[in-house]
Structure 1
Amino acid sequence: MRAYVLCGGFGTRLRSVTDTQKALVPVHGEPFLARVLRQLARAGISEAVLCAHYRAEQVAEQLAALAHDAGLRLTLVVEATAMGTGGALLNALREQPAPGRYLVLNADTFLDAEGYRLMVQGQGNALLGVQVDDRSRYGSLEVDAAGRLLALREKGREGPGLINAGVYAFTCETFASATVRACSMEQELLPELLAREAVGVIEYGGRFIDIGTPQSLDRYANDFRMEP
Structure 2
Amino acid sequence: MRAYILCGGLGTRLREVTKGRQKAMVDVNGEPFLLLLLRQLKAAGIEHAVLCAGYRADQLETMLADLSQGAELPLDLVIEPHPLGTGGALLNALQQHPVDAPYLVLNADTYLTHDAFRLRSDGVDSVIVGVEAVDRARFGSLRVADDGHVLELLEKGETGPGLVNAGVYCFTPAAMAGEQPRPCSMELDLLPALIARGELRAAPYAGSFVDIGTPEALAAFKASSDRSAQQ
TM-score category by the smaller chain?
A: over 0.9
* Cross-structure match for 1:10: 10
Instruction: Using the TM superposition, give the Cα deviation of residue 54 of structure 1 relative to its aligned residue in structure 2, in angstroms.
Output: 0.1
Is 2:177 the partner of 1:176?
yes
SS in 2 for 1:141: strand
Distance 1:212 1:147 in 2: 28
Distance 2:99 2:50 in 1: 10
TM-score, length-scaled by structure 2 = 0.95
* Cross-structure match for 1:141: 142
SS in 1 for 2:129: strand
Distance 2:199 2:93 in 1: 23
* Cross-structure match for 1:81: 82
One-letter amino acid matched to 2:209: F
**After superposition, where does 1:58-69 map in structure 2 within 5 Å?**
58-69=59-70
One-letter amino acid matched to 1:99: D
* Cross-structure match for 1:116: 117
Instruction: Using the TM superposition, give the Cα deviation of residue 121 of structure 1 relative to its aligned residue in structure 2, in angstroms.
Output: 6.8
Instruction: Using the TM superposition, give the Cα deviation of residue 179 of structure 1 relative to its aligned residue in structure 2, in angstroms.
Output: 2.1
* Cross-structure match for 1:167: 168
Distance 1:193 1:30 in 2: 37
* Cross-structure match for 1:209: 210
Instruction: Using the TM superposition, give the Cα deviation of residue 176 of structure 1 relative to its aligned residue in structure 2, in angstroms.
Output: 1.7
Instruction: Using the TM superposition, give the Cα deviation of residue 197 of structure 1 relative to its aligned residue in structure 2, in angstroms.
Output: 3.4
One-letter amino acid matched to 1:7: C
Aligned sequence identity (%): 52
* Cross-structure match for 1:101: 102
TM-score, length-scaled by structure 1 = 0.96
Distance 2:160 2:115 in 1: 26
SS in 2 for 1:221: helix
* Cross-structure match for 1:200: 201
Structure 1 gap ranges (5+): none
Given that residues 43 and 120 in structure 1 are in contact (C-alpha distance below 8 angstroms), is that contact kept between their aligned partners in structure 2? Answer: no
Aligned length: 226
RMSD: 1.1
* Cross-structure match for 1:155: 156
Instruction: Using the TM superposition, give the Cα deviation of residue 122 of structure 1 relative to its aligned residue in structure 2, in angstroms.
Output: 5.7
* Cross-structure match for 2:38: 37
Given that residues 44 and 120 in structure 1 are in contact (C-alpha distance below 8 angstroms), is that contact kept between their aligned partners in structure 2? Answer: no
> Which segments of structure 1 move beyond 3 Å, counting only runs of 4 or more?
120-124
Structure 2 gap ranges (5+): none
SS in 2 for 1:183: coil
SS in 2 for 1:209: strand
SS in 2 for 1:16: helix
**10-19 vs 41-50, greater mean Cα deviation:** 10-19
Distance 2:199 2:175 in 1: 11
